[in-house]
């Protein structure tokens, strides 16, 4: 389950006043209006909140901080316990020596003449043996101060916990958090069932990680449905063979818990896609598409994309051997490329995932070298006009009607050099590799939901 949301525009069929119901993004699912149609029906916007909303709750942060403090206190107590036990054993071992010294001092005090040079030297030696006790006693003093400090910390923790408990009432916080997560899961599942829509907006960028070189690609499985939470990263665009597989998105963010796949054939470009557990990529210096299965670590099929340019013949504006761009959306697997007969214009082909056979092809008429990047959503190809700062989504081609239109959908190109931009239909977000940064964008889709009585 991914931690990011999508936004849908819904046409509410009941006549209702156009007013904001939930103005704050932090309050959960937002419902607010944007306009009225000709019939006076309110066109409303529904914004699904990010998953793990509880993690942004101030009380959740307080609890995490409290748990960290409790852990620190526990560790300090363990250190104190070990040190006290060690020092106590030392004191016990020197107890008999202290009794001997005490006895000799009493004798010398009662009868000073009985202390001859030999006896004085023996007493001096015994006292020297007790000198190591001094740092032990000093440590005891320091430990006593620490215990007072820890006692104050515990008292403060108790006060904060009582305040949180009073604020939350009788409910257990973890129980509430689990209930909210369950509800968000159900809402996310409902959101996935809403179907397709037209792209009308892109959110601000969400930087997940900064890693790798200037060019590369990263992705999760685009197959719907899928419970696969793995993340894959492929650094570079030229003759690469190493694919890093992370167990979860959180592991990817931390750069931990990953395994390495060494592909049997190097890749070209950054237009790779993972679909139903397999990596689809363009073989270096060819127009061959390879399907590599991660579980078996083997190539299941490879097939030439007939007539497709390669080796920087028809790349995107940034170059990088980006001639063939593979992608997936709600309708399946796609290849975006161009050919010499198409005069360098973008060609879209829908592929059969098992055999890589071309099922249908469209000529968009848009020159590929003028495109910064492109991605498919619901059978529509969206093309950016640049890979640099100031880029926007400039062109859309609708495969269901074989028609196109010019668009003006801005987005913030935060790091000024996008070398990969792909849509994930399972999570409904855009994955981008931007100048060594792995970035996500939420999308806004326009969709009309009709009731049975409409």
Rounded to whole angstroms, the Cα distance separating 410 from 205 reads 12
Same domain, 429 and 357: yes
Residue 153 has pLDDT above 80, yes or no: no
Same domain, 378 and 439: yes
Encode pLDDT of 335-379 as tens digits. Answer: 999 999 999 999 999 999 999 999 999 999 999 999 999 999 999
For residue 14, name the pLDDT band (cuts at 50, 70, 90). very low
For residue 179, name the pLDDT band (cuts at 50, 70, 90). confident
Rounded to whole angstroms, the Cα distance separating 137 from 100 reads 20
> Tokens for 46?
């529904």
Same domain, 211 and 154: no
Contact 56, 48 (CB under 8 A): no
Pairing of strands 278-282, 273-275: antiparallel
Q: Is the dihedral of CA 302, 369, 425, 414 positive or negative?
A: positive
Residue 137 has a pLDDT of 65
Rounded to whole angstroms, the Cα distance separating 167 from 231 reads 39
Pairing of strands 7-11, 437-446: parallel
Identify whether 361 is part of a domain: yes
Encode pLDDT of 74-106 as tens digits. Answer: 666 666 666 666 666 666 666 666 777 767 777
Rounded to whole angstroms, the Cα distance separating 396 from 403 reads 9
CA atoms within 13 A on the CB side of 263: 26
Same domain, 213 and 159: no
Contact 445, 191 (CB under 8 A): no
Rounded to whole angstroms, the Cα distance separating 386 from 351 reads 27
Identify whether 409 is part of a domain: yes
Residue 6 has pLDDT above 60, yes or no: no
Residue 69 has pLDDT above 60, yes or no: yes
Identify whether 18 is part of a domain: no
The residue count for the chain = 454
- Segments forming the whole domain that contains residue 201: 197-446
Identify whether 191 is part of a domain: no
Rounded to whole angstroms, the Cα distance separating 275 from 277 reads 6
Encode pLDDT of 278-316 as tens digits. Answer: 999 999 999 999 999 999 999 999 999 999 999 999 999
Say which residue the tokens 């030439």 belong to. 304
Encode pLDDT of 32-55 as tens digits. Answer: 444 445 555 545 555 544 444 445
Q: Which of 422, 309, 424 is nearest to 369 (CA)?
A: 309
Residue 80 has a pLDDT of 67
Same domain, 395 and 342: yes
> Tokens for 274?
């993972």
Residue 187 has pLDDT above 80, yes or no: no
Same domain, 201 and 155: no
Q: What is the mean pLDDT of residues 54-67?
A: 62
Same domain, 202 and 145: no
How many domains, the chain?
A: 2
Average pLDDT, the chain: 79
Encode pLDDT of 242-271 as tens digits. Answer: 999 999 999 999 999 999 999 999 999 999
For residue 140, name the pLDDT band (cuts at 50, 70, 90). low
Residue 18 has a pLDDT of 36
Identify whether 22 is part of a domain: no
Q: Which of 120, 144, 166 is the last residue of a domain?
A: 166
Same domain, 336 and 211: yes
Same domain, 291 and 393: yes
Rounded to whole angstroms, the Cα distance separating 12 from 39 reads 12
Contact 234, 269 (CB under 8 A): no
Same domain, 369 and 292: yes
Residue 293 has a pLDDT of 97
Identify whether 235 is part of a domain: yes
Same domain, 249 and 291: yes
Task: List, as one string, the DSSP characters of 308-327.
Answer: B--SSSS-BTTBTT-S-EEE
Rounded to whole angstroms, the Cα distance separating 421 from 415 reads 13
Identify whether 210 is part of a domain: yes
Same domain, 422 and 294: yes
Contact 389, 413 (CB under 8 A): yes
Identify whether 314 is part of a domain: yes
User: Could you give phi then psi for residue 433, rounded to 5 degrees?
Assistant: -110, 115
Rounded to whole angstroms, the Cα distance separating 281 from 291 reads 7
pTM exceeds 0.85 for this model: no
CATH code of the domain covering residue 378: 2.120.10.30
């Amino acid at each position: 389950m991914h931690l990011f949301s999508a936004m849908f525009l819904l046409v509410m069929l009941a006549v209702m006043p156009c007013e904001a119901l939930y103005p704050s993004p932090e309050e959960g699912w937002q419902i607010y209006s944007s306009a009225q149609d000709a019939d006076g029906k309110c066109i409303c916007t529904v914004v699904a909140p990010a998953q793990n909303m509880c993690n942004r709750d101030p009380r959740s942060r307080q609890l995490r901080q409290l748990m960290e403090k409790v852990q620190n206190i526990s560790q300090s107590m363990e250190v104190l316990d070990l040190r006290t036990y060690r020092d106590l054993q030392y004191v016990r071992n020197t107890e008999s020596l202290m009794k001997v010294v005490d006895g000799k001092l009493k004798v010398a005090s009662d009868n000073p003449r009985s202390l001859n040079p030999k006896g004085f030297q023996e007493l001096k030696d015994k006292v020297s043996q007790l000198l190591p006790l001094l740092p032990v006693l000093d440590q005891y003093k320091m430990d006593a101060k620490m215990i007072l400090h820890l006692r104050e910390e515990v008292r403060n923790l108790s006060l904060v916990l009582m305040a949180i408990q009073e604020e939350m009432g009788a409910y257990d916080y973890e129980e509430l958090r689990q209930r909210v997560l369950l509800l968000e899961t159900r809402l996310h599942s409902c959101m996935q069932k809403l179907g397709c829509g037209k792209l009308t907006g892109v959110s601000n960028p969400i930087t997940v990680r900064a890693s790798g070189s200037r060019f590369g690609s990263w992705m999760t499985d685009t197959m719907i449905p899928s419970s696969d939470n793995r993340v894959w990263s492929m650094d570079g665009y030229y003759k690469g063979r190493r694919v890093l597989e992370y167990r979860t998105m959180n592991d990817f963010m931390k750069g931990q818990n990953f395994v390495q796949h060494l592909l049997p054939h190097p890749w070209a470009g950054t237009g790779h896609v993972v679909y139903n557990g397999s990596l689809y990529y363009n073989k270096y210096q060819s127009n061959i598409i390879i399907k590599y299965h991660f579980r078996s670590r083997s190539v299941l099929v490879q097939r030439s994309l007939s007539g497709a340019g390669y080796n920087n013949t028809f790349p995107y504006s940034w170059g990088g051997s980006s001639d063939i761009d593979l992608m997936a959306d709600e309708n399946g697997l796609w290849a975006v490329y161009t050919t010499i007969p198409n005069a360098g214009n973008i060609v879209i082909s829908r592929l059969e995932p098992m055999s890589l056979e071309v099922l249908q092809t469209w000529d968009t008429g848009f020159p590929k070298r003028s495109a910064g990047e492109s991605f498919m959503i619901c059978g529509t190809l969206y093309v950016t006009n640049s890979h640099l700062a100031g880029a926007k989504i400039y062109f859309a081609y609708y495969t269901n009607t074989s028609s196109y239109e010019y668009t003006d959908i801005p987005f913030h190109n935060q790091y000024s050099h996008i070398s990969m931009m792909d849509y994930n239909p399972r999570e409904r977000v855009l994955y981008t590799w931007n100048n060594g940064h792995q970035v996500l964008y939420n999308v806004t889709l326009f969709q009309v939901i009709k009731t049975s009585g409409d």
